[in-house]
Structure 1
Amino acid sequence: MSTTRPKFGVDLITFYNPSFWGLPDEAAIQELSDRDPDAIWRKILDSAAAAGITSLEVTFGPANVDSIRRAFGGAKEFKKELDGRGMELKSAFYLEGSWDPAADRGAIADSAAAYARFIKEAGGDVLVASPPMRTTWNAQPPQFNDFDFLKNVADIAHVVGHASLQEGVTTALHTEAHSSFCTARDVDLLMALTDPLFVSLCPDTGHLALSGGEPTHIVSRHRERVVISHWKDATGPAPLRVPIDETIHDTHREYFRRVGAGSIDWFSWGRLMREIGFTELALLELDAVADPVTEITAAREFIERSLAPVFP
């Protein structure tokens, strides 16, 4: 059992609120990234450091892999920048592949390998992938999240996992609310359908809570699969029978809270992480908050102070 003092990480979506940038909307943040990627990265890295963060998870734009290339020149140069700040890249969210059953598996493998190569060169070791979203419950024809559907998801996850592993990077599936991998039953079934040698687990406590699950109970059954986890709180379950479209992720935000400010039992979660020896990193996350430094600092301090008896 590890008793290493944890490092604290953050998923960069935390910094995507327009108010944080003094801009009118998210499109304006992307425009700033296109025009001046250095400005995006300076503010994010300075703010992460101010919140006591040393590990990063890169996600979609504006602070994505493309912006890293434009701001720093490439993965190795990005690693040098992080090294100079006492930081590291831990993981990156993979959005380039397709979960379509008819998708070219060779193209998926090539894409995943290239993305994993970038992660490795930048110092990271985890590729986080989110299985496809559900369709709205009353869609016609209905899409059932059944064995056949998830078997295809598992097959593509194996392609991604095999390709990333060749580059020294582990693929972990993320538990996204309203996706095909969000309820306790979804997690159990897709974990059963995937080979643990190639596919690992990235539980997101907030998304599991939104989906009506108790994160500790769900993850305890798959403890050997955890290679990274997203720590965020939630007010409680969100309705599952809602329209699932391009606005669903914005809808999630009203339910999310920083660690310690919602309904999740963090003491049981901390004990579980300690039991499985997963105490090296707590990756904090909130979706696009106006004051990320304050929120992430409060989450970190809650873990350090309140969870000290159960989480080293």
Structure 2
Amino acid sequence: MASDDRLRFGVDLVTFFHPGFWGVDSHDAIVGRARAAPRAFWDKILDSVQASGVTGVELTFSPFNWQDAIKTYGSIDGFAAELARRGLTLCSGFFAELEAAGDFTAPEAQRALIDKAERYADFLKACGSDIMVIGAPLRQTLGAQPVQFHDFDRAKAIADFLNRLGATLHARGVRLALHTEAHSIFAAARDVDLMMLLTDPAYVHMCPDTAHIIVAGSDPVQLVDRHHERMIIAHWKDAVGPMPADTPIDKQIHERHQPYFCGFGLGRVDWPAWIRLLRDKAYEGWAILELDAAPDPVRDIANGLTLVRQALLPIYR
């Protein structure tokens, strides 16, 4: 059982985005396989999640998104039945549209984002989930021209939209959780503090990702300690250290992150301090053991669960 009744463990499906797992040589080939044989593709993913020992699934971008799941299994009920048959739960869904939206301050852009989020929320609710994890807009590369400062005014405009989006999701029974994505405007300590200050805690919650916070040059334990009451789900992941300040922030930024992530317990995250914080703050909920594109995800997730059970859950209890 991947739980102690208060902590429940899941995995984000980005974990399965490694060519080696699929026996191909590129990410494009993975997408091609998903398109060519969607049922075999999704069955392999769900069977692998079940075999790893976790019980929760977090959906993410295509070919691992909610639209793909519906197309593959014919309906929302069909997908939900496949999860239930394996003893799995849809714990959350990742919404990546803000990162790709560019300037979403225009009213028509915001209406389009809210429409997409509403449809996603209805899917999540129908599958028994009430958490939408949302990636924040990316920062600008250091030194890029013309300079765009992430100052109070810009943060306020983003926060206003997030408040309205959070209220929209709440009306559909789903909670918005901002993800601490490295090189976004919600990862480094100052940026997180600013966005938490400007958003309404009734409608905007938090999904800390321990590895991304480290890659952004901050301390996940200190950061989450300040905002623990906003955390409704968390990504448990390890990283070897911060990335250089002048790292280019472009379409390849997620690929640039990957060499800085490492196996659970092999990086800079102070896991005993992390689990003590969750214990002391009485956190209960989902813990997502996420690995970006793992070549052997079943083994890696199972090993992470073993470490959690042997070294961390005794502290938490």
Scaled by the length of structure 2, the TM-score of the pair is 0.94
Partners of 1:290 and 1:38 in 2: CA distance: 21
Amino acid at match of 1:162: A
Is residue 136 of structure 2 the alignment partner of residue 131 of structure 1?
A: yes
Is residue 155 of structure 2 the alignment partner of residue 150 of structure 1?
A: yes
What does residue 235 of structure 1 align with?
240
Q: Which runs of 5+ in 1 are unaligned?
A: none
Partners of 2:315 and 2:105 in 1: CA distance: 43
CA deviations on 1:91-129 (whole Å, 9 max, x unpaired) are 111123545211423333222111100111112110111
Does the 8 Å contact 2:233/2:285 carry over to 1? no
What does residue 41 of structure 1 align with?
42
Partners of 1:58 and 1:45 in 2: CA distance: 11
What does residue 101 of structure 1 align with?
105
Does the 8 Å contact 2:214/2:241 carry over to 1? yes
> Secondary structure in 1 aligned to 2:54?
coil
What does residue 295 of structure 1 align with?
300
Partners of 1:75 and 1:150 in 2: CA distance: 36
User: Map of 1:205-284 to 2, 5 A cutoff?
Assistant: 205-284=210-289
What does residue 61 of structure 2 align with?
60
Between 167-176 and 255-264, report the one with greater CA deviation.
255-264
1:5 Cα deviation after fit: 5.1
Residue 197 and residue 280 in structure 1: after superposition, are their counterparts in 2 closer, same or farther (change >3 A)? closer
> Secondary structure in 2 aligned to 1:270?
helix
Amino acid at match of 1:204: D
Does the 8 Å contact 1:116/1:164 carry over to 2? yes
1:158 Cα deviation after fit: 1.4
Does the 8 Å contact 1:13/1:287 carry over to 2? yes
Does the 8 Å contact 2:240/2:267 carry over to 1? yes
CA deviations on 1:3-62 (whole Å, 9 max, x unpaired) are 735321000000000110001111111111122211111111111111101101000011
Amino acid at match of 1:90: C
Partners of 2:189 and 2:256 in 1: CA distance: 21
Does the 8 Å contact 2:133/2:176 carry over to 1? yes
Amino acid at match of 2:117: A
Could you say what the CA RMSD is over the residues aligned between the two structures, in angstroms? 1.5
Amino acid at match of 2:62: G
Amino acid at match of 1:209: I
Between 232-241 and 203-212, report the one with greater CA deviation.
232-241
Partners of 2:194 and 2:246 in 1: CA distance: 21
Percent of aligned positions that are identical: 45
Amino acid at match of 2:255: D
> Secondary structure in 2 aligned to 1:229?
strand
Structure 1 stretches of 4+ moved >4 Å: none
Does the 8 Å contact 1:3/1:279 carry over to 2? no
Does the 8 Å contact 1:40/1:63 carry over to 2? no
Partners of 1:237 and 1:309 in 2: CA distance: 30
1:253 Cα deviation after fit: 0.6
Amino acid at match of 1:35: A
Partners of 2:39 and 2:30 in 1: CA distance: 13
> Secondary structure in 2 aligned to 1:48?
helix
1:74 Cα deviation after fit: 2.4
